[in-house]
């Protein structure tokens, strides 16, 4: 596989793990745990402030960075591939 193709493949892997994986294994389970709580209880408020918001925000930031890195890698790989294809043989 050529370097540009490898970079594009790695972009997909970064997206799969960093965006989709974080969503499936961290954000969704936290959302479901919160949805199962009694919204008016003090323990839910405590969970929301001390656990949910900091953890969810951290994992959402990881997801955002992974998406940005993946997009940058994909664009760079595509531009690299186009540059290679347009060079005279």
pTM of the model: 0.84
Q: What does the alpha-carbon distance between residue 21 and residue 14 come to, in Å, rounded to a whole number? A: 10
Q: What does the alpha-carbon distance between residue 71 and residue 11 come to, in Å, rounded to a whole number? A: 7
pLDDT digits (tens, 9 = 90+) for 51-72: 999 999 999 999 999 999 999 9
pLDDT digits (tens, 9 = 90+) for 10-44: 999 999 999 999 999 999 999 999 999 999 999 99
């Amino acid at each position: 596989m050529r370097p540009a193709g490898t970079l594009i493949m790695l972009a997909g892997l970064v997206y799969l793990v960093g965006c989709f994986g974080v969503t499936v294994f961290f954000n969704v389970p936290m959302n479901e745990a919160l949805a199962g709580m009694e919204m008016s209880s003090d323990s839910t408020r405590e969970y929301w402030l001390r656990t949910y918001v900091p953890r969810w925000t951290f994992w959402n930031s990881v997801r955002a960075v992974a998406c940005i890195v993946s997009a940058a890698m994909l664009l760079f790989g595509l531009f690299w591939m186009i540059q290679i294809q347009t060079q005279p043989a």
